[in-house]
Structure 1
Amino acid sequence: MSGIYIYQLKGWPNFQWNNEVLTGILGDIRFRQGRLLGSMEGLGFNLQDEATLATLTLDVLKSSEIEGEILDHDQVRSSIARRLGMEVAGLIPADRNVEGIVEMMLDATQHYDRTLTTERLFGWQASMFPTGFSGMYKIVVGTWRNNAKDDPMQVVSGGMGREKVHFQAPDADSLEAEMNQFLRWFNSESTIDPIIKAAVAHLWFVTIHPFDDGNGRIARAITDMQLSRADETSRRFYSMSAQIRIERKAYYDMLERTQKGTMDITEWITWFLGCLSRAFNATALTLTAVIKKARFWNNTAMQELNSRQKLMLNKLLDGFDGKFTSSKWGKIAKCSHDTAVRDIQDLIDRNILLKDGAGGRSTGYLLNEAIFDAK
């Protein structure tokens, strides 16, 4: 079977799965989904917005990271906040490629109830590659890949002479028919559970591999779109992409095994549901951080802080990467070192910050955890 791919089988794309195996797993997922959405609804709109912003930021960052592309956290967060109309301190401009990926993800999740069309997919892919290049390579943008001269398109690893072909996509001349069939199925009303439909859609799209580049990220956007349909809300409180990033090797191994297997994709759906369950678990961390941040800013000690202090405290609350020093304060807040020192000393006097380490410019500063318990 190693030389035959799933789309070459006679039954393609009539996927099959064992409902007896999946029923118990799906029931647990549905129960936990209900509890999660219910607990989030009890938070109030402001906290729901904060949780959605945190989740979508994580989703965009990790979906790109799966493909080896590292985006700037603050740019992604700022782009999402602006597009959602949220007033967030310290917004910064975002690069064109960041804006494009954010635009795709928000279109998928905020307009999940709209029909998924060829033109919409073309727009998503074009938005990710605004220059028409992927790295140093010119690619086909805003339409299906056209590999007539260099078919087949292959997913390959290993150096020259040691290449390993993990997957070979359908030939370019079959893409229009393949995608028309996929889109008819995706947009149709069906008796398939919407969460199982998300698992099938992910596998089906990434197997067709219709674009020159961006297939993985678009597959995950389609997955989030279908999961939003399953949740019946545009608010996002868990990140499937973040969990896939953690389990990236298992994700690719499972895709490869399924794409070289039979039309019975029970094993793939079982893995997908398990991954989704673990994404629910990780949501607890996001929720804790959101509530902690809200409690922090509701504290009376936060009154009368200047804009630089609010900006930098939000950096710490969002998880500052590395040692937080006065020199970094000055650079990020765009102020002199003396001003940064005065800002920091004021926060120390208010018991909001604590010193971490010896004196001098190398001194680090931490949030005083006791402030979260104060009234």
Structure 2
Amino acid sequence: MVKIPVSGPTLRDLLHDRDLVSELRRILTSGAGPEVNGRYYHWDKLRHLDPPDGLTTREWWLALKFARASLAKPIALLDKTGAPFTFSMTDTVFQAIHRIDRDASGKIEISEQVTSPATRDRYIISSLMLEAITSSQLEGAVTTIERAKDLIRTGRKPSDQSEQMVLNNYLAMRSVRQFTHERLTPERILELQKIVTADTLDDPDAAGRLRRREDDVVVSDFDGEILHRPPDASELEERLDRMCAFANGKDGDAFVHPVVRAVLLHFWVGYDHPFVDGNGRTARALFYWSMLSQGYWLCEYISISTRLRSQPAKYARSYLHTETDENDLTYFLLHQLGIIRRAIDELHVHLDGKMEEVRRVEALLRQAVVLNQRQLALLSHSLKHPNSRYSIRSHRNSHNVVYQTARSDLLDLAERGLLNRRKVGRTFYFYPKPDLADRLKRLEA
């Protein structure tokens, strides 16, 4: 259950406290910064902590608010009163961005499982499926990951609304990949939301359009308590134009780091809630568009919704902390940067494990007595390039052997269950089994 955090005193309130103002010099020279041991605390948490020596909790909060205000940068997103949202580039933000810059863009060293043309598409499709599934589950879709993957792989018709949500989200994520070199427009956002919500709404007319005044759209918890009431529908067209200008980097002269821009675009959609339904899924899809359009190519291989789904309360709380502390986006920014960083780290661990598995199986192969050196070479190549195909001619040319020898090698591997055989025209082709590594382990055993 997510509760609305207790709002702390605003900076204006604190500066109207005569007792605090009289001690302002002492408070501001206390050494308190915007973070506490690398944590960006909200008042709801800070009020339960022991303040530094010589400060009361209110004095500590004032020192912290002053430190944050000195770093705060406004963006074009305004709240319902017309006040701007701001974010602060703290040390923790800089550190997280540095790691994402290092690991998700440019020419970095990464497993050939991703960089190889033979396998990269398989990883992209896998990550797209996982993001589509878990993003839908975040919004209430009830299905297992395996059943949802089967839906996408087989192309069968969705059996219920949950499966329709998953399929829609998958199509939306694929659509995002197609326009990463284009500017974001309101029309593109409406099109994306239409894909996300197709055949899932009580009112089909609500797909692909902004919500209207008669659409009573709020964000509530499971008990019906309203957590967020978005801006009036009459403002949405102007807000959408301003959001697109921000997303395209046309919102003024101030520099906003590309990763920060992508994360804040995610928040912006969630705050404005411009649609009757599909806001969260559209927001996360636009985050991917922003990251990919700004050169963070590795984001094609990660799923942020998988991490968000594991701790949905923290995701919701990052929105609420921002709204209950003078529009300070740093709470949401830090939460999302942590999600991105963990997703990238987990991808590297996964790929390192895959390559270690390949090396381990190759070592087993070198000790094999049941296979000849030509067969070992082909299987070693297959482990690294699982989408490869082989023919008698290609195997013969690779090893400079006669037709019958090449044919015997390949048929033997097929009979052992290591290769699939398929006839195309008059030629037989051989393909590695999808679970080749596991089959080789069993063969050695």
Q: TM-score, normalised by structure 2?
A: 0.59
Aligned partner of 1:174 in structure 2 is: 235
Structure 1 residues 171 and 68: CA distance shift in structure 2, 3 A: same
Distance across 2 between alignment mates of 1:305 and 1:65: 39
Return the alpha-carbon distance in structure 2 between the equivalents of residues 372 and 35 of structure 1.
Answer: 41
Match of 1:109 among 134, 156, 177: 177
CA distance in 1, matches of 2:148, 2:276: 24
Q: Which amino acid in 2 is paired with 1:172?
A: A
Matched, 1:184 2:245: yes
User: Following the alignment from structure 2 to structure 1, what is the Cα–Cα distance between the partners of residues 271 and 203?
Assistant: 23
**Within-5 A mapping of 1:61-210:** 61-70=133-142, 91-95=154-158, 97-131=165-199, 133-134=200-201, 140-146=206-212, 148-149=213-214, 151=216, 153-159=217-223, 163-188=224-249, 191-210=255-274
Partner AA of 2:244 in structure 1? L
Distance 1:115 1:150, change over 3 A: closer
Structure 1, residues 209-251: CA drift from partner, whole Å, max 9, x if none?
0000000000000111112124353871211121211222211
CA contact (8 A) 1:55 1:237 kept: yes
Question: What is the CA-CA distance between 1:15 and the residue it aligns to?
Answer: 2.5
SS where residue 339 of structure 2 aligns? Answer: helix
Between the aligned partners of 2:340 and 2:230, the Cα distance in structure 1 is: 26
In the alignment, is the contact (CA less than 8 A) between 1:75 and 1:98 conserved in 2? no
Distance 1:22 1:91 in 2: 42
Is 1:239 the counterpart of 2:303? The answer is yes
Identical positions, percent: 19
- The reply on whether 1:258 has 2:319 as its aligned counterpart is no
2:117 corresponds to = 45
1:18-48 per-position Cα deviation (integer Å, ceiling 9, x unaligned): 3444222221222232589531567411121
Letter of the 2:419 partner, please give it.
Q
Residue 227 (1) aligns with residue 298 (2) = no
Q: Is it true that 1:303 corresponds to 2:419 in the alignment? A: yes
CA contact (8 A) 1:112 1:234 kept: no
**Equivalent AA in structure 2 for residue 277 of structure 1:** R
Distance in 1 separating the partners of 2:311 and 2:290? 21
Aligned to 1:33: 104
- How far off is 1:279 after superposition? 0.7
The question of whether the paired residues in 2 share the 8 Å contact of 1:244 and 1:275 is answered with yes
* Residue segments in structure 2 that go unaligned for 5+ positions in a row: 1-5, 11-76, 159-163, 359-381, 389-409, 424-429
What is the 5 A alignment of 1:206-355? 206-233=270-297, 236-284=300-348, 286-287=350-351, 295=383, 300=413, 301=416, 302-304=418-420, 314=434
Bigger RCO of structures 1 and 2 (CA < 8 A, at least 6 apart):
1
Does the 8 Å CA contact 2:180/2:293 hold for their aligned counterparts? yes
Asked whether the 8 Å contact 1:110–1:235 carries over to 2, the reply is no
CA offsets per residue over residues 240-272 of structure 1, 9 Å max, x none?
A: 121211222211111122123223322221111
Q: Which amino acid in the other structure matches residue 110 of structure 2?
A: S
**Match of 1:249, as an amino acid?**
A
Is 1:60–2:148 an aligned residue pair?
no
Residue 211 of structure 2 aligns to which amino acid in structure 1?
R
Deviation sequence 1:136-178 (CA, Å, 0-9, x none): 56662210011x2354x2111244xxx3111111111111111
In the alignment, is the contact (CA less than 8 A) between 2:198 and 2:204 conserved in 1? no
Question: Number of paired residues?
Answer: 305
The answer on whether the counterparts of 1:199 and 1:269 sit within 8 Å (CA) in structure 2 is yes
Larger Rg: 2
- The answer for unaligned runs of 5 or more in structure 1 is 81-89, 318-351, 354-366
Go from structure 1 to structure 2 and tell me whether the alpha carbon gap of 1:20 and 1:304 turns closer, same or farther (over 3 Å shift).
Answer: closer
| Equivalence for 1:8 | 80
| Cα separation, 1, equivalents of 2:183 and 2:173 | 15
> TM-score with structure 1 length normalisation?
0.68
Is the contact made by 2:184 and 2:244 (CA closer than 8 Å) also made in structure 1?
yes
Report the aligned-residue RMSD. 3.8
Partner SS, residue 16 of structure 1:
strand
Question: Residues 71, 289 of structure 1: CA spacing in aligned structure 2 closer, same or farther, 3 A cutoff?
Answer: farther
